[in-house]
Amino acid sequence: MSKPLILVNLKTYKEGMGNHAHTIATAAQTVAQESGITIGIAPSYIDLHPIARHFMIPVYAQHVDGSEPGAHTGQITVEAIKLAGANGSLINHSERRLTLADIESSIKSLQTHKLVAVVCTNNDITSAAAAALTPEYVAIEPPELIGSGVSVSKANPDIIKRSVTAVHTVNPKVKVLTGAGIQSGECVKIAVDLGTDGVLLASSVVKAQEPIKILRDLVSKF
Ligand code: G3P
């Protein structure tokens, strides 16, 4: 069985800011080294540069705009996240939805700069649409399960299966992640057995008393 990507989104949880972000990154790096499984984290913009400089794990932005550098106040350009040390970015997260045109320009800009595009979607139909834009990853997350503590792998495995089929029908090279409520190695294994290349998750790690314990469990079936 091929090894999954585990991508931890720190969102804007206070348990994932500043020193807490460093604690989670330390745990992620330790578990990645122990297991040989890639564990990436997506910290807040404020923490992106220090985390990318201090750790060897892949670091992702939580959102990026497709705009060119210049007179665009408040925009986050791909150049800026690349200089800060990012390996890629989430795009169109359920908590940061974009227009189709915005998604396309963010993907193009990331790929121009050789960074990884992870486009989030909410069902199999939008997953197929996202795949047509040829990002490296499509991450299917049913919004009603996000942050719920109920795992998509157990509550709605069909949406994972349908999304994998939808994405690969459009473009077999696009990899698929899934997320929402992922909290254990069992959730990750189910997701991978259904054809995904890994998981995108947040609260189970970020809000844990001991994030390293959850991370060790997440990788335990591989
Ligand atoms: O970006 C991952 C996220 O939306 C899933 O959140 O807390 O359900 O793992 P959570």
pLDDT tens-place string over residues 113-143: 999 999 999 999 999 999 999 999 999 999 9
Instruction: Tell me the CA–centroid distance for residue 145 and ligand 1, in Å.
Output: 8
Rg (CA), the chain: 16
Contact 197, 175 (CB under 8 A): yes
| 175 three-class SS | strand
Q: Identify the residue whose C-alpha is closest to ligand 1 atom 2.
A: 201
Q: How confident is the model at residue 175, as a pLDDT? A: 98
Instruction: Tell me the CA–centroid distance for residue 111 and ligand 1, in Å.
Output: 25
* Domains recognised in the chain with CATH numbers: 8-211 (3.20.20.70)
Residue to probe by mutation, ligand 1, list 6, 7, 8, 9, most atoms within 8 Å of CB: 9
Question: What are the pocket residues of ligand 1 if the criterion is a CB atom closer than 6 Å to any ligand atom?
Answer: 9, 93-94, 141, 146-147, 179-182, 200-204
Instruction: Tell me the CA–centroid distance for residue 202 and ligand 1, in Å.
Output: 4
Q: Which pTM was predicted?
A: 0.98
Q: How confident is the model at residue 2, as a pLDDT? A: 77
Q: How confident is the model at residue 76, as a pLDDT? A: 97
Tokens of 160: 């994972």
Contact 55, 42 (CB under 8 A): no
Tokens of 20: 């807490």
Q: What is the spatial distance between Cα 94 and Cα 18, in angstroms, rounded to a whole number?
A: 24
Q: Which atom of ligand 1 is nearest to the CA of 9?
A: 1
Contact 83, 101 (CB under 8 A): no
Give the residue-averaged pLDDT of 20-31. Answer: 98
Instruction: Tell me the CA–centroid distance for residue 59 and ligand 1, in Å.
Output: 16
Q: How confident is the model at residue 198, as a pLDDT? A: 98
Q: Identify the residue whose C-alpha is closest to ligand 1 atom 4.
A: 146
Q: What is the spatial distance between Cα 222 and Cα 78, in angstroms, rounded to a whole number?
A: 33
pLDDT exceeds cutoff 80 at 176 = yes
Please report where in the chains the tokens 């121009």 appear, as a residue: 112
Q: How confident is the model at residue 1, as a pLDDT? A: 63
Q: What is the spatial distance between Cα 52 and Cα 32, in angstroms, rounded to a whole number?
A: 15
Q: Which atom of ligand 1 is nearest to the CA of 201?
A: 9
Catalytically active residues, by annotation: 93, 141
Q: State the average pLDDT for the chain.
A: 97
pLDDT range class, residue 221, cuts 50, 70, 90? very high
